Amino acid sequence: MTEWWTYSLRDMLLFSPRTYYRLFELYNIGLWPLQLVAIALGIAIFLLSRRGSGMAGRILTAILALCWLWVAWAYHWQRYATINLAANYYALAFVLEALLLLWLGAVRARLSGAPASKVRQRSGLGLLVFALLCFPLIGSLLGRSITQSEIFGMAPDPTALATLGILLLCSARTLWWLFPIPAGWCLISG
């Protein structure tokens, strides 16, 4: 144990990046053509976020909650758990976020209206557009196959980023309950 200083953070990883991206490839191939449904849901969320009405907020959060539940079950419990021992805990956190979204957004209608500032509105719109359009293309730009793309509603990273964008676009009433899980996932994933 005298060579402990020769270890780096890379030596502590549970799996290689190649294994991680292969997991996404198998996930996307196995669930084709659900990616088209996820893209349609992303477009719907974008359009609903621009409306700002109470009913649009309820529908938007119901869609977001459905996406969080799908990622919890189909990605974390079914696939990510095969390479990461903590995936079941991540899945539980995603289910909790879905329940919070349903309660505060769909039942209590707290996710509606415009944000307090232009900075918040631009930041939210930027995160949402990045999650929906740019995130799936990052892999291709880095030389990975298009089948390894991470798509909103099917992968945790773009789903968390889109949720943070939506939360910034909505009014500030009682939203602080909804921020920790998506922000925490971004920290864990990063």
What pLDDT is stored for residue 39 in this prediction? Answer: 94
What pLDDT is stored for residue 117 in this prediction? Answer: 82
Cα 159 from Cα 105, distance rounded (Å)? 16
pTM: 0.89
With cut-offs at 50, 70 and 90, classify the pLDDT of residue 175. confident
> Mean of the pLDDT values across residues 74-97?
95
With cut-offs at 50, 70 and 90, classify the pLDDT of residue 116. low
What pLDDT is stored for residue 170 in this prediction? Answer: 80
Question: Tokens 């909103």 sit at which residue?
Answer: 152
Q: Which two tokens stand for residue 138?
A: 């990052």
Closest among 38, 45, 37 to 165, alpha carbons compared: 45
Cα 83 from Cα 77, distance rounded (Å)? 11
What pLDDT is stored for residue 71 in this prediction? Answer: 98
What pLDDT is stored for residue 51 in this prediction? Answer: 79
What pLDDT is stored for residue 63 in this prediction? Answer: 95
Closest among 80, 83, 112, 107 to 93, alpha carbons compared: 80
Q: Give the least confident one: 73-77, 99-103, 155-159.
A: 99-103
What pLDDT is stored for residue 174 in this prediction? Answer: 57
What pLDDT is stored for residue 20 in this prediction? Answer: 86
